[in-house]
Amino acid sequence: MPAAAQARFLDPQVLARIDDLELLARTVVEGFVGGLHRAPHVGHSVDFAEHRPYMPGDDVRRIDWRLYARTDRYHVKQFEADSNANFLVLLDRSRSMQFSSHGVSKLDYGRYLAACLTHLARRQRDRVGLVTFDADVVDFVPPSAKHREAVLHALARLEAGGPGELAQPLSKVAEASRRRGIFVLISDLYEDPDAALRAVRQLAHRGSDVIVFQLLDPAEVRFPDDAATSYEDLETGERMPVVPDYVREQYRALVAEHVAALGRRFGDSRIDSLMIETTTPLDQALFHYLVRRQRFDRVR
Is 270 contained in some domain? yes
Is 34 contained in some domain? no
Are residues 132 and 59 located together in one domain of the fold? no
Is 2 contained in some domain? no
Q: Distance from CA of residue 296 to its chain's centroid?
A: 16
Are residues 125 and 57 located together in one domain of the fold? no
pLDDT score recorded for residue 77: 75
Are residues 112 and 242 located together in one domain of the fold? yes
Please state whether beta strands 272-277 and 209-216 pair in parallel, antiparallel, or not at all (unpaired).
Answer: parallel
Are residues 69 and 127 located together in one domain of the fold? no
pLDDT score recorded for residue 135: 94
Are residues 294 and 231 located together in one domain of the fold? yes
Q: How many domains does the chain have?
A: 2
pLDDT score recorded for residue 283: 85
- Taking every pair of Cα atoms in the chain, the longest distance, rounded to a whole number of angstroms, is 78
pLDDT score recorded for residue 299: 55
pLDDT score recorded for residue 49: 53
Neighbours of 3 (CB within 10 A): 9
Q: For residues 1 and 283, what is the distance between their CA atoms, to the nearest angstrom?
A: 13
Are residues 225 and 125 located together in one domain of the fold? yes
40-71 tens-digit pLDDT: 333 444 445 567 788 776 778 888 888 888 88
229-233, 242-246, 275-279: which has the minimum mean pLDDT?
229-233
- Domain with 121, as residue range(s), is 83-299
Are residues 274 and 181 located together in one domain of the fold? yes
Is 205 contained in some domain? yes
For residue 264, is pLDDT > 90?
yes
- Percent with pLDDT over 90 in the chain: 48
Is 88 contained in some domain? yes
pTM for the predicted model, two decimal places: 0.79
